[in-house]
Amino acid sequence: MESNISNLANLLQSCISKKAHLAGKILHARIFRLWLSSDTFLSNHLIELYAKCDNITNAYQVFSKIPQRNIYSWNAILGAYCIHRNLQDAYGLFQQMPERNTVSWNTMISTMIRNGYEMEALDIYDSMMLEGVRPSYITLTSVLSACSALLDAEYGRRSHGFVIKVGLDRNMFVVNALLSMYSKCGLTRDAIHVFRDIPDPNEVTFTVMMSELARTNHLREAADMFKLMLRKGLHIDSVSLSSILGVCTKGGFGEIGLSRHNDGFSFNVPGEELHGLSIKLGFETDLHLSNSLLDMYAKNGDMDNAEKIFVNMPKLSPVSWNIMIAGYGNKYESDKAVEYLSRMQCYGVEVDNVTYINMLAACVKSGDIKTGRQIFDCMSCPSLTSWNAILSGYMQNADYKEALKLFREMQFQHLRPDRTTLAIILSSCAEMRLLDTGKQVHVASQKFGFHDDVYVASGLINVYSKCGKMELAKYVFYKLPELDVVCWNSMIVGFSINSLDKEAFSFFKQMRQFGFFPSEFSYATILSTCAKVSSLFQGQQIHAQIAKEGYVDDIVVGSSIIEMYCKCGDVGEARCFFYMMPGKNTVTWNEMIHGYAQNGRGDEAVCLYEDMIESGEKPDDITFVAVLTACSHSALVDEGVEIFNSMYQKHGIVPMLDHYTCIIDCLGRAGRFHEAEVILDQMPYKDDPVVWEVVLSSCRIHANLGLAKRAAEELFRLDPQNSAAYVLLANMYSSLGRWDDARAIRDLMIDKQVRKDTGYSWSECRDGMQIMLENDNHPVASSEVN
């Protein structure tokens, strides 16, 4: 009899290992015929077999018919319920158990953790300790895993103490769990301390440590860990390589060299060398490692190498496709991303939420908002990240109206916005000057608990500033419990755009007094304010601060310094600074060219434009506005015509309104009206009043009455309340002695109630005082900006 039981048990164990459900049922029938159904030992095996073969009903039937259940019977059926995630029944069964051993507690704790009930798992562990059951290394590994998931460092530290007390601080499973717990809780030093206390760490320990250091962006430490692993001659497996490739992806090695001389490996370019090492070690077919290599190349923008790996992979997963789509998205190649999406669907690979998010991000980054919206509409249940991505796309494409419309739809779906959502919508409100909508978003931000969020507050300040409500902007600013540089910058920008220059300078000084160090944007903003009010004295002081704090080489700040000096009339200082700058971009060149243009130094502006072309810097539409303005103001007509014609022919830039205005002004000032009229008849901006104002002004200088009348008629049609057309035409009649015509124009102004705009002039005193004089006998107004 004992021999039969032993043989049947061995056969059942083989069925369990192979999940051979049919063979197991045949054995069950044989056990029944041999009258061995009541044997507890065989019944326990049958429960385990049915559990492994997803037949929980039969497992429970076997359990219910055991006349003498032992602890193994209870653990077997408990394990069956846990395998099938029948947590409620499992917990009820656990409570009914006449006795429980460490296996019972471990089964329940690990099952709760696997199903996301970490807090409940720790409660069960506490009950286990109260009952005096000694935990095993499996128990403590599970408990530390729960602490990691909950980021509960305090509970984790207590558990660490118990680990040391029971002598499990050398158990590699427990040690690895401790490393993971401390790293995920952001306690990297504690993790390193645990690692250093391990007498003989293995490759698993090193891999866990590297993974956690990389995950928490301690990239240099992760790289050092890999070098130490190599020096110790430990086995390098695919998991280790995947972990260190994550460090390469984030740029963790930089210029650090790696070497493993005894194996002949020399790592000078870590990512590519690790790729070579993976091939040498025979991991070409490892899917996880191949995906890590794909990710490394894709995130570093090397899509050519990513393509080579992709096409040679023997097996592809949805992760592989998603990495390629995200990689092309990061390179702003939405067409390639769409191609991969189509191929993915053709191969029958299921498109998941990650695919849609990556595809949406690719379209948004590439500016292809139309395709992005189609992708978004295909998503059955878009996540908040997806909503933010499409909203951001509309905002970046200046389609603020559609962004607001989509935000309302998001509210109808009762999806709670986050700080990013609110910031995007507030930016759209600011650009459209929608004060009431901005106020509604303000109320919504308070409702959702963002009343003290500096990110949202900056957006609110921006809305109120652009709507001219600086008192409301100050209210938001002063209500914040904690401030940051961004909020200060928002206020300074707000004062500047509302011509409250004294307040802008005051806030800039207060920001420094409160211990906030100005950022590049802070300096660029305050320099623009100096430029706007032509305050050279203030600008020189700010320049000195910039030099002292080391921002003088920043391109954005440098461009603002050039703008400030040029607008304050000190072109020589601007030029000196320009040539001293170690790095220049298109904006920098544009500022200097525009500076020459503003100060009547057209020849130098054209020469600098030619230098820019020779340097390889690509001009943009603003470059051409600057250089054409210079040609216009300095009577460089032929040069201006040549540059205008080269815009599209040589540089592929289609002329816009400002370019047409500049070239027409240039031709008009020189009296070349025939050429100007040819351009007027051909250009697509005939209904813009600015162009006709320029034409009328030039006609007055050269007494071209015929074209002047045409220009004036266009202006009367397009902008009947603009006084410029009436005044210019009346003055032209007066200069020609046609007093009756001049009087008729002035009478027309009176009939249409057109009011002449007031003119102003500025001057700066040594003490920084700005004097503003009006030309219509109004009182003198002054404001101190120093």
Average pLDDT on 635-652 reads: 91
pLDDT for residue 269 is more than 50: no
pLDDT for residue 623 is more than 60: yes
Supply the pLDDT for residue 491: 94
Per the DSSP assignment, residues forming a β-bridge with 568 are none
Q: Is 54 left (phi over 0), alpha (psi -120 to 50) or beta?
A: left
Per the DSSP assignment, residues forming a β-bridge with 258 are 267
Average pLDDT on 172-184 reads: 89
* pLDDT band, very low/low/confident/very high, at 334 (cuts 50, 70, 90): confident
What are the pLDDT digits (tens) for 181-219?
A: 988 888 888 888 888 888 888 888 888 888 877 777 777
Average pLDDT on 152-167 reads: 92
Q: Which long-range contacts (CB under 8 A, 24 or more apart) does 151-157 make?
A: 151/184, 151/185, 151/186, 152/122, 152/185, 153/181, 153/182, 153/185, 153/187, 155/122, 156/181, 156/182, 156/185
Q: What does the alpha-carbon distance between residue 508 and residue 526 come to, in Å, rounded to a whole number?
A: 8
Pair type for strands 760-764 and 265-267: unpaired
pLDDT for residue 78 is more than 50: yes
* pLDDT band, very low/low/confident/very high, at 260 (cuts 50, 70, 90): very low
Per the DSSP assignment, residues forming a β-bridge with 772 are 762, 781
Supply the pLDDT for residue 154: 93
pLDDT for residue 448 is more than 50: yes
Report residue 23 as tokens.
């063979």
What are the pLDDT digits (tens) for 13-70?
A: 788 777 777 877 777 777 777 777 777 778 878 878 777 787 778 877 887 778 888 8
Strand order in the sheet with 781-784: 760-764, 769-774, 781-784
pLDDT for residue 420 is more than 80: yes
What are the pLDDT digits (tens) for 543-573?
A: 999 998 888 888 999 999 999 999 999 999 9
Q: What percent of the chain has pLDDT over 70?
A: 92
Distances (CA, A) of 163 to 101, 141, 171, 177, 588: 19, 10, 9, 11, 62
Mean pLDDT of the chain: 84
Q: What does the alpha-carbon distance between residue 699 and residue 705 come to, in Å, rounded to a whole number?
A: 7
What are the pLDDT digits (tens) for 658-677?
A: 999 999 989 988 889 888 88
Supply the pLDDT for residue 753: 63
Contact 324, 294 (CB under 8 A): yes
Residue that wins the pLDDT comparison between 410 and 768: 410
Supply the pLDDT for residue 786: 32
Of the candidate ranges 228-232, 401-405, 578-582, the one whose mean pLDDT is the lowest: 228-232
Supply the pLDDT for residue 361: 87
pLDDT for residue 777 is more than 70: no
Q: Where are the alpha helices (DSSP H) in 65-215?
A: 71-83, 87-96, 102-114, 118-130, 137-150, 153-165, 172-184, 188-196, 203-215
Average pLDDT on 427-451 reads: 91
What are the pLDDT digits (tens) for 338-375?
A: 898 889 988 888 888 888 888 888 888 888 888 889 88
User: Torsions phi, psi of 99, nearest 5?
Assistant: -145, 150
Q: Where are the alpha helices (DSSP H) in 550-601?
A: 555-567, 571-580, 586-598
Nearest CA-CA partner of 569 in 288, 325, 312, 763: 763
pLDDT for residue 262 is more than 50: no
Do you know the residue count of the chain?
786
pLDDT for residue 734 is more than 50: yes
Average pLDDT on 225-243 reads: 82
**Amino acid identity at 283:** F
Instruction: Identify the residue whose tokens are 């040679």.
Output: 312
Of the candidate ranges 91-100, 150-159, 483-492, the one whose mean pLDDT is the lowest: 91-100
Distances (CA, A) of 720 to 169, 695, 732: 87, 17, 19
HEC secondary structure over 489-501: HHHHHHHHHCCCH
Contact 51, 79 (CB under 8 A): yes
Assign 3-state DSSP to the chain and report helix, strand, coil percentages, each to 5: 70, 5, 25
pLDDT for residue 776 is more than 70: no
Taking the alpha carbons at both ends of the chain, their separation in whole angstroms is 106
Supply the pLDDT for residue 749: 72
Measured CA angle at 32 (ends 29, 37), to 5 deg:
130
Of the candidate ranges 166-175, 198-207, 462-471, the one whose mean pLDDT is the lowest: 198-207
Q: What percent of the chain has pLDDT over 90?
A: 33
Following DSSP, what letter does each residue of 199-221 receive, concatenated? Answer: SS--HHHHHHHHHHHHHTT-HHH
Per the DSSP assignment, residues forming a β-bridge with 783 are 770
Distances (CA, A) of 616 to 10, 577, 584, 589, 611: 79, 21, 11, 12, 9
Following DSSP, what letter does each residue of 388-457 receive, concatenated? Answer: HHHHHHHHHTT-HHHHHHHHHHHHHTTPPP-HHHHHHHHHHHHHHT-HHHHHHHHHHHHHTT-TT-HHHH
Pair type for strands 769-774 and 258-260: unpaired
